[in-house]
Structure 1
Amino acid sequence: MAATDTTRSQDDRSVAELIKQFSEQTSHLIRDEMKLAQAEMSQKAKHAGAGIGLFGGAGLLAFFGVGALVSAAIAALSLTDLEVWAAALIVAAVLFVLAGIVAMVGRSETRQASPTPERTVENVKRDVEELKESRH
């Protein structure tokens, strides 16, 4: 009977050790997933910041384009020589084209900044599935 008690106590101890190991691994996994989520969100914030800055640049270029159009209208009304206002219109057109290009690049950057950390979500789903499978 003493041998049976010793065997049970070793079995209980190994189950306790397994539970302790499972708990430690789970907390380590959760910490790692949190670090991954933080890194992923930091990357997304960088893209969002770049996109917002580029949109600001596009707005500034469009503002200068409007200023050039105003200058062109003034030159066209005050001068009879078409060269001055034609040059102002060309400058305005170039500024608007540049504003469009910068806006498109800004839009591309902001599209890359989705609010959810996709890789982390997928990893957590996979971990949960593995835990469910290991229980059965």
Structure 2
Amino acid sequence: MAGTRFALLILIFAASLGAALAAPGSAPAWGELSAAQRQVLAPLAAEWAKMDGADRQTWVEIAQRHAELTPEEQDRLARRMQAWARLSPEERTRARDQYRALRNMPAERREQLNEEWQRYQNLPPEERRRRRNQGKDE
């Protein structure tokens, strides 16, 4: 389950990078998507016209894999797409940079970070809030 969650997180960050190798004309307009694709990608509808072709193509590929995910993974993907759509351009750039750094670090360090993240996620909400606020004070 943790591996799946980590893979899904990486998939979302990868989507933010865009499909650099996608053919320029291969990214459909919103109206050209199938009904199923529009349903999956609904959190991104308002942003779709502003995206470049590579980003659109990447999201289309994610939508095509959507049916293979468990219902829990599908829900998580939808929430993360909504969160991505709410990010400012600067925040998206920061997320892309963090993805690149994560991708380039050794596998054992990535696994260690994943384990630390899981421990953090298992903390009571008040403890997580305290730790987040503690980091802002420094």
Higher Cα Rg, which structure: 1
Task: Settle same-fold status: TM greater than 0.5.
Answer: no
TM-score (norm 1): 0.22
Larger helix proportion of the pair: 1
TM-score (norm 2): 0.22
